Amino acid sequence: MKTVCIVAASGKLGRYMVKHCLDRGYQVRGVCREKSVAKLEPFKDQLRIFPGATDDREVISKAVAGCDGVLTVLVPWGRKHYATGTAQAVLDFAPPGARLVFSCGWHITRDEQDRISTTLRWQEHLARWLGALTRLIDIDDQIEACRRVFASDTRWTVVRGSDLEEGESQGLPVWSRHVGDPVLASNLTRRVDYALFMVAALENDLLIHEAPAIVGCLTSSASKKDDNGGNSPSSPLA
């Protein structure tokens, strides 16, 4: 892995990914809205910035050209299919064979075998209702974006995140194929570690065509068993 493009690099998750990539010695490119470029000021001499909307196909085509990997935050802003446009542009313009890693929430499902709690279902319904009322977000847009990723023949991974919190890194999160699996009993991940998992996935072929749901490695049920009974947590990237 040499050159990585981060789509939506100026957000909180994006900036953590920028740092993780730079720490690994990657050449980094970042796509972000022009008004958000200032948020990347701390990295201005270490990455190449492509200002523009993440669903701007011309911007994406230039930013991902020649990249070995693309990290994409699928943000369902507005009611104009922003997440879908972003995902489709990355799928269309990323070089053949590039590793594509996308981020989304636990509400995304690939095979309908996830066991979503009543609380999370109500949160999704509320987000969908508020989005329709305010026209600020579109949960169904993110669902469609991921559906297109799942249907593609690219080397994709879709990382499904739980609730996020700030704080120092606890290490690579634990993952499972299905929400509701015992190891995911805690619905909490440090944002810096979500970014760490995204970046680590770039070089882990075992995660190609997987949609891992993740939680923090110190809050998972497996970690708690390790504290009490000596069972170690499942490998975050195994």
Instruction: Give tens-digit pLDDT for 197-213.
Output: 999 999 999 999 999 99
Whole-number pLDDT of residue 225:
45
Whole-number pLDDT of residue 237:
38
Q: Which residue would you say has higher pLDDT here, 134 or 149? A: 149
pLDDT at 145 over 60: yes
- Once rounded to an integer, what is the mean pLDDT over residues 66-76? 93
d(CA 71, CA 5): 6
DSSP state of 235: P
CA proximity to 158, closest of 203, 121, 210, 220? 210
pLDDT at 184 over 70: yes
Task: Provide the CATH number for the domain formed by 3-229 in this structure.
Answer: 3.40.50.720
d(CA 99, CA 87): 14
Whole-number pLDDT of residue 122:
64
Whole-number pLDDT of residue 134:
67
Whole-number pLDDT of residue 80:
78
pLDDT at 228 over 50: no
pLDDT at 221 over 60: no
| Sheet with 69-73, side-by-side order of all strands | 47-51, 27-32, 3-7, 69-73, 99-105, 155-161, 213-215, 174-176
Q: pLDDT by residue (tens digit) across 74-116?
A: 987 667 788 999 999 999 999 999 999 999 987 888 887 777 6
Whole-number pLDDT of residue 135:
60
* Confidence bin at 229 (pLDDT 50/70/90): very low
pLDDT at 63 over 50: yes
Token pair of 205 as six digits: 């072929």
State whether residue 101 is helix, strand or coil. strand
pTM: 0.87
DSSP state of 35: G
Whole-number pLDDT of residue 226:
43
pLDDT at 238 over 50: no
pLDDT at 43 over 70: yes
CA proximity to 156, closest of 95, 98, 104, 236? 98
d(CA 50, CA 41): 13
Q: The tokens 């504290």 sit on which residue? A: 227
CA proximity to 81, closest of 139, 41, 40, 15? 139
By the 10 Å C-beta count (0-12 exposed, 13-18 middle, 19+ buried), 129 is classed as exposed
Give, rounded to a whole angstrom, the gap between the first and last alpha carbons of the chain. 19
Average the pLDDT over each of 16-30, 41-55, 136-150, 191-205 and give the range with the smallest value.
136-150
